């Protein structure tokens, strides 16, 4: 460790393998070093050091007693030399002796930090990935027809062409029949309604089964294999809640809360009732059995080859459960990763991250202005939050169609996509609703989609010429080809003299890759302004012109000095993703 | 406790008596409150609450089982009412029931904060005091004559007239003869040299004895009593180190470090040797015996009536010793206070404060510019440091004659006095050197006084017309008469458009007393500028004129609005201490 100012010390270590590492800090006195320093000063001042030599000999003899073999003999010889009267007047301490003394420190009175600290090393996907969420039952390609996992396979080339490397599926388990919701979340649906995938469990099975209309376990394993061929990893949704038809209800009624009439307590948020959902009682007397069963759900899907889990509403279940189950799964499957879908208070989101979640959803969807984005992403990337919390940025989800997307048209979708993909090394979209710019809400003031796929099958028009598929492909390619965009630590915001323009950069540690993003936040009007760049921090020579290569349009600009002009029309492309460099490379 | 934003809560409690208090935090679920809230919402929505009433009855019955007597019967009656079918449709929860339920919380699954926190309540002197340091042996009033504690009594009216309420004496114990230092810290003095009071211990006794030339224990007790009549409390210096002549050396050689030749290790900082001082070995095998003996030193002086201890160099002794001994002394003498003379790194000074020291010396002596003073005192009063560290500000000490005082003449002394007395509710001076503006250093670049009282008797000219005694009296009177100056928490710095002028305020919580200090930091030239004041924070109406009454010159200024002009001539009075108020009071 290296001493800094004001009694602070700094040390570094490198960890090569994935897994959890623990460390702490220990400090001890090194009387030999103090003695050695004093001896040198006294000899330089010509003082008598007879007694000091004897003190040194004693120190060395104590250490010799802790050593053995050759080292012990060597130390004893050094001590004897210090004791001998006929020693010459040269400083008797050699580097060999100093190294030996350092090898056998006396830690009997060492002070040890009272905390054991943990570093978790995850695989690279934890830090960098582009997620795509799709409802497999909408993949049939014919209006009204229930899609299957096999149909989903057919969409892989399309998803891969857009550059996504994670395909996240809402729950694929049997859907309950009791109190099944109708279209647009109607309280009681028709008999032919497909229900919500998050209403898990029927006679056909629970969290380890596959909804029969989607296919078989074999189909699922084949989807994993095919996706892998396209460079895509499958992420499953883990939503620990049951319908009244879930096998757990019959087999383990003691895992649920009972009401005084013997019936099982459904979810409620008075006066709202969710009679199709029975929450599990994590504090049941049989909690150990319940927790083990839930752990076995993760184990089961890991055995099928899944390593990515998007966990539904983890903040409504106990912290100790997540701490335990994530640790247990990672012990067996160190490459397992967990994305927390917790839209709640910051402290709770950060707590989930600290106890084991690899990534988390964020408030990104509701941060729209330059001030909001700057403040939030400065907190996420420049404070201690960056040490434990990995943001995953979603401009939309099946639950979230923001006002900005509802009202801003196609430019709003482009703007939010570029922001998500460049502010966050991890980001995702819920498609095809996103690339097809679906923006009709169920009612004014609501963030719910009209005719939401949560409750019905949708048939999407992939031939829509307004689709953003190619634009998304360009954005994801710029992420893959530029290491600067593959982490969040280097994010810095820069001045622009226009409140509608936001400008930020990311760069690699060696500055060999510098990406500058400028986005027009106004989805209606052209905006222009002067950006102010810290060229020296980018490793650019402020006295030489440099190139700004726009990865979205392939345009090349020759810039000079820190202030440069930008102009963005939301109705063509509302953003620049520049690679900055001197021309000769 | 009251809920703030982002999962933070705040609570307050008042502590009336001095002593150490411990507290921690506990949180538990209150299912009754949740149930009550849900019930009210359901009833408002006209829902059937038959089952909810039964759930409530169960909750109440569980609590009834923990209650007894009348309360138990009451609770059971409430439960029965909820269970009865013929209950009316009114909300059955009364405030009486709610209060009873709150009285018997179920804490069986409570979460308790893993730390126990301590608040120490000290008597008022800990927070507000004006210290005066004097060498009793210089109090005889005749050149060369050794002063006594009786002579010291004669100086009390003078000290009280200046407004000091603590009289701090350097060690009053027998001074060793071996290797006794001569005048101006000469290595070997003459036989008639008086030696340094910090060279403690001779045949005549150690830390519980009084130097015979100063007088007797009876004289000392009389000094305490006489001082009390003048409103002055005596502070003793506790310096845990021994000369070779200290009785401990003969009686307990095992309390010191031995060298290989059997001699005792003196203090050294190679190549410097301090052969007149033997450091105690706090890590000796007999440390328990040693620590108890040192505790008995505090007990001894407490028994004589001393409650203020200025501890010499505590940072060179182990933290656990101070933590233990201060706790032990305070258990027996809760009004004992400890001033740490630790001029070392900030972390170490703060650590000493956290483990028990009531006050600490500071870097004030070396903070001279506006930027330095603003930064340092903002740290001390506006950050978490204020929660544990009470600064005591000394412009000079027998060891510290700063360059600013050496070169700035009388105006420099006035400037530093006003800064110490108004920035710090606790401050002190080493006199009469201070009020007589003694400013000759032993050699250029040194902060040591020439002919320092540490090594010889000085005879001071109290009739010097340049003495600052009256000026100091005015400053101390303004402190006594203005509560704003009696604590540090409200300190705020204000803008002045001149780098040589510093301006800051203190005020009482109710804003009934607002003190504004403006100081000219330049001891040579007149300086003027415009100060900018936050009138509303002072409780002043910005639309009305207000009075600035200078407590040093008794001048009254009529000010208007936030910007006002000041002009200070160092050769008359280099500072204003204003009381601000509207004229009609």
Compute CA distances B81 → B56, B74, B94, whole Å. 11, 11, 12
- Can you give the three-state secondary structure of B124-180, one letter per residue? HHHCCEEEEECCHHHCCCCCCCCCCHHHHHHCHHHHHHHCCCEEEECCCCCECCCCC
Task: State both tokens at A101.
Answer: 């003394």
Mean pLDDT, to the nearest integer, of B297-302?
Answer: 98
Task: State both tokens at A249.
Answer: 């209800």
pLDDT at B390: 98
Contact B267, B243 (CB under 8 A): no
Evaluate the CA torsion angle A22, A25, A30, A33 in order and state its sign: positive
Candidate ranges B53-57, B116-120, B403-407; pick with highest mean pLDDT: B403-407
A76, burial (CB in 10 Å: exposed 0-12, middle 13-18, buried 19+)? middle
Å from A507 to nearest chain B CA? 32
Phi, psi of B533 (to 5 degrees): -115, 140
CA atoms within 13 A on the CB side of A427: 28
pLDDT at B86: 64
Å from A182 to nearest chain B CA? 22
Cα separation, B138 vs B504, in Å, equals 37
- The CA R_g of chain A, rounded to the nearest whole Å, is 31
* pLDDT level of residue B31 (50, 70, 90 thresholds): very high
Contact A136, A149 (CB under 8 A): yes
Cα separation, B497 vs B502, in Å, equals 10
Cα separation, A159 vs B272, in Å, equals 77
Examine the pLDDT at B88 and tell me if it is beyond 80: no
Cα separation, A519 vs A577, in Å, equals 9
Q: Are A346 and B6 in contact (CB < 8 Å)?
A: yes
Which residue of A lies nearest to B39 if distances are taken between CA atoms? Answer: A270
Mean pLDDT taken over chain B: 95
Reference A483, options A507, A501, A500; nearest CA is A507
Partner-chain residue, chosen from B37, B271, B345, that has the shortest CB–CB distance to A7: B345
Q: Are A37 and B270 in contact (CB < 8 Å)?
A: yes
Mean pLDDT, to the nearest integer, of B514-521?
Answer: 98
Q: Are B54 and A348 in contact (CB < 8 Å)?
A: no
Residues of B serving a catalytic function are 312, 341
Reference A121, options A1, A238, A234, A23; nearest CA is A23
Catalytic residue list contains A7: no
Mean pLDDT, to the nearest integer, of A249-266?
Answer: 96
Q: Are B259 and A51 in contact (CB < 8 Å)?
A: yes
pLDDT at A88: 59
Mean pLDDT, to the nearest integer, of A424-434?
Answer: 98
Mean pLDDT, to the nearest integer, of B275-297?
Answer: 97
Q: Is the omega angle on the peptide bond into residue A236 within 30 degrees of 0, that is, cis? A: no
Mean pLDDT, to the nearest integer, of A36-52?
Answer: 92
Direct distance between the N- and C-terminal alpha carbons of chain A, in angstroms, rounded to an integer: 38
Bridge partners of residue B506, in order along the sequence: B515
Min mean pLDDT across A87-96, A264-273, A508-517 is at: A87-96
% of residues, chain B, pLDDT over 90: 93
Question: Interface pTM (ipTM) of the complex?
Answer: 0.78
* pLDDT level of residue A330 (50, 70, 90 thresholds): very high
Residues 6+ apart with CB under 8 A from A374: A493, A502
Å from A189 to nearest chain B CA? 22
Phi, psi of B27 (to 5 degrees): -130, 140
% of residues, chain A, pLDDT over 70: 98
Let me know the angle formed at the C-alpha of A288 by A283 and A294, rounded to the nearest 5 degrees: 90
Residues 6+ apart with CB under 8 A from B567: B526, B527, B528
Mean pLDDT, to the nearest integer, of A39-44?
Answer: 92
Mean pLDDT, to the nearest integer, of B167-175?
Answer: 98
Examine the pLDDT at A165 and tell me if it is beyond 80: yes
* pLDDT level of residue A188 (50, 70, 90 thresholds): confident
The SS3 assignment for B505 reads strand
* pLDDT level of residue A86 (50, 70, 90 thresholds): low
Examine the pLDDT at A132 and tell me if it is beyond 90: yes
Tokens 């009833």 correspond to what residue? Answer: B43
Q: Is the omega angle on the peptide bond into residue A432 within 30 degrees of 0, that is, cis? A: yes
Q: Are A345 and B51 in contact (CB < 8 Å)?
A: no
* pLDDT level of residue B9 (50, 70, 90 thresholds): very high
Examine the pLDDT at B87 and tell me if it is beyond 80: no
Cα separation, A142 vs A130, in Å, equals 28
pLDDT at A40: 92
Which residue of B lies nearest to A51 if distances are taken between CA atoms? Answer: B260
Mean pLDDT, to the nearest integer, of A5-28?
Answer: 93
Å from A36 to nearest chain B CA? 11
Contact B442, B449 (CB under 8 A): yes
Mean pLDDT, to the nearest integer, of B193-206?
Answer: 97
Mutate to test the interface with B, among A82, A260, A269, A272 (most CBs of B within 10 A): A260
pLDDT at B181: 93
% of residues, chain B, pLDDT over 70: 98
Examine the pLDDT at B498 and tell me if it is beyond 80: yes
Task: State both tokens at B311.
Answer: 């501890």
Q: Tens digits of per-residue pLDDT, B441-477?
A: 999 999 999 999 999 999 999 999 999 999 999 999 9
Which residue of B lies nearest to A109 if distances are taken between CA atoms? Answer: B283
Cα separation, B380 vs B388, in Å, equals 10
Q: Are B260 and A51 in contact (CB < 8 Å)?
A: yes
Residues 6+ apart with CB under 8 A from A175: A194, A195, A196, A197, A199, A200, A202, A211, A243
Mean pLDDT taken over chain A: 95
Mean pLDDT, to the nearest integer, of A23-51?
Answer: 93
Chain A partners within 8 Å of B347 (Cβ) = 6-7
Q: Tens digits of per-residue pLDDT, A350-387?
A: 999 999 999 999 999 999 999 999 999 999 999 999 99
Pick the catalytic residue from A341, A438, A453, A522. A341
Q: Are B42 and A259 in contact (CB < 8 Å)?
A: no
A384, burial (CB in 10 Å: exposed 0-12, middle 13-18, buried 19+)? exposed
Ranges of H-type helices in A162-270? 217-229, 247-251
Contact A360, A394 (CB under 8 A): no
Examine the pLDDT at A90 and tell me if it is beyond 90: no
Let me know the angle formed at the C-alpha of B514 by B509 and B518, rounded to the nearest 5 degrees: 135
Chain B partners within 8 Å of A347 (Cβ) = 6-7
pLDDT at A191: 84
Q: Are B260 and A54 in contact (CB < 8 Å)?
A: yes
Contact B171, B210 (CB under 8 A): no
Pick the catalytic residue from A133, A151, A245, A312. A312
Which residue of B lies nearest to A263 if distances are taken between CA atoms? Answer: B51
Contact A556, A549 (CB under 8 A): yes
% of residues, chain A, pLDDT over 90: 93
| Secondary structure E strands in B280-336 | 308-312
Q: Are B44 and A271 in contact (CB < 8 Å)?
A: yes
Contact A455, A184 (CB under 8 A): yes
Cα separation, A522 vs A531, in Å, equals 17
Bridge partners of residue B216, in order along the sequence: none
Angle between helices B346-354 and B319-332 (to 10 degrees): 30
Size of interface A-B (CB pairs under 8 A): 59
CA atoms within 13 A on the CB side of B116: 3
pLDDT at A427: 98
* pLDDT level of residue A309 (50, 70, 90 thresholds): very high
């Amino acid at each position: 460790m290296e001493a800094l100012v004001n009694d602070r010390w700094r040390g570094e270590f490198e960890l090569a393998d994935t897994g959890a590492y623990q460390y702490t800090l220990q400090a001890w006195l090194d009387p030999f070093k103090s003695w050695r320093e004093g001896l040198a000063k006294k000899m330089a001042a010509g003082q008598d050091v007879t007694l000091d030599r004897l003190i040194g000999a004693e120190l060395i003899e104590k250490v010799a007693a802790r050593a053995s073999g050759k080292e012990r003999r060597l130390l004893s010889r050094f001590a004897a030399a210090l004791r001998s009267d006929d020693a010459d007047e040269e400083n008797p301490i050699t580097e060999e002796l100093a190294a030996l003394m350092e090898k056998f420190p006396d830690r009997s009175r060492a002070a040890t930090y009272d905390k054991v600290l943990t570093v978790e090393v995850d695989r690279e996907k934890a830090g960098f990935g582009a997620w795509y969420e799709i409802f497999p039952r909408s993949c049939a390609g014919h209006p009204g027809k229930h899609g299957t996992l096999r149909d989903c396979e057919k969409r892989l080339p399309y998803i891969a062409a857009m550059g996504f490397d994670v395909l996240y599926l809402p729950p694929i388990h049997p859907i309950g029949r009791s109190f099944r919701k109708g279209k647009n979340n109607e309280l009681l649906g028709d008999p032919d309604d497909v229900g919500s995938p998050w209403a898990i469990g029927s006679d056909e099975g629970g969290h380890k089964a596959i909804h029969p209309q989607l296919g078989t376990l074999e189909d699922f394993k084949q989807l994993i294999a095919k996706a892998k061929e396209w460079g895509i990893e499958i992420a499953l949704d883990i939503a620990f809640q049951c319908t009244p038809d879930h096998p757990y209800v019959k087999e383990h009624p003691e895992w649920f809360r009972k009401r005084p009439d013997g019936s099982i307590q459904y979810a409620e948020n008075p006066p709202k009732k969710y009679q199709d959902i029975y929450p599990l009682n994590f504090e049941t007397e049989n909690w150990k059995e319940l927790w083990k069963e839930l752990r076995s759900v993760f184990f089961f899907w890991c055995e099928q080859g899944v390593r990515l889990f998007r966990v539904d509403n983890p903040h409504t279940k106990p912290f100790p459960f997540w701490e335990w189950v994530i640790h247990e799964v990672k012990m067996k499957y160190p490459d397992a990763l967990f994305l927390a879908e917790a839209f709640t208070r910051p402290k709770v989101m950060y707590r989930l991250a600290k106890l084991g979640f690899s990534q988390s959803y964020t408030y990104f969807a509701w941060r729209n202005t330059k001030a909001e984005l700057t403040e939030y992403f400065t907190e996420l990337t420049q404070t201690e939050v960056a040490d434990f919390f990995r943001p995953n940025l979603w401009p939309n989800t099946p639950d979230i169609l923001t006002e900005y997307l509802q009202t801003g048209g196609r430019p709003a979708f482009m703007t939010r996509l570029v922001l998500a993909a460049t502010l966050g090394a991890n980001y995702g979209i819920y498609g095809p609703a996103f690339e097809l710019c679906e923006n009709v809400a169920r009612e004014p003031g609501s963030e719910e989609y009209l005719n939401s796929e949560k409750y019905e099958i949708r048939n999407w028009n992939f031939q829509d010429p307004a689709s953003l598929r190619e634009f998304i492909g360009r954005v994801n390619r710029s992420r893959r080809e530029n290491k600067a965009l593959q982490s969040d630590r280097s994010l810095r915001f820069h001045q622009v003299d226009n409140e509608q323009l936001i400008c930020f950069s990311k760069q690699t540690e060696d500055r060999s890759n510098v990406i500058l993003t400028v986005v027009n936040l106004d989805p209606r009007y052209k905006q222009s302004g002067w950006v102010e760049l810290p060229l020296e921090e980018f490793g650019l020579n402020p006295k030489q012109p440099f190139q700004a290569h726009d990865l979205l349009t392939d345009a090349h600009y020759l810039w000079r000095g820190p202030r440069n002009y930008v102009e963005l029309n939301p109705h063509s492309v509302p953003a620049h993703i520049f690679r900055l460099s001197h021309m000769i490379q």
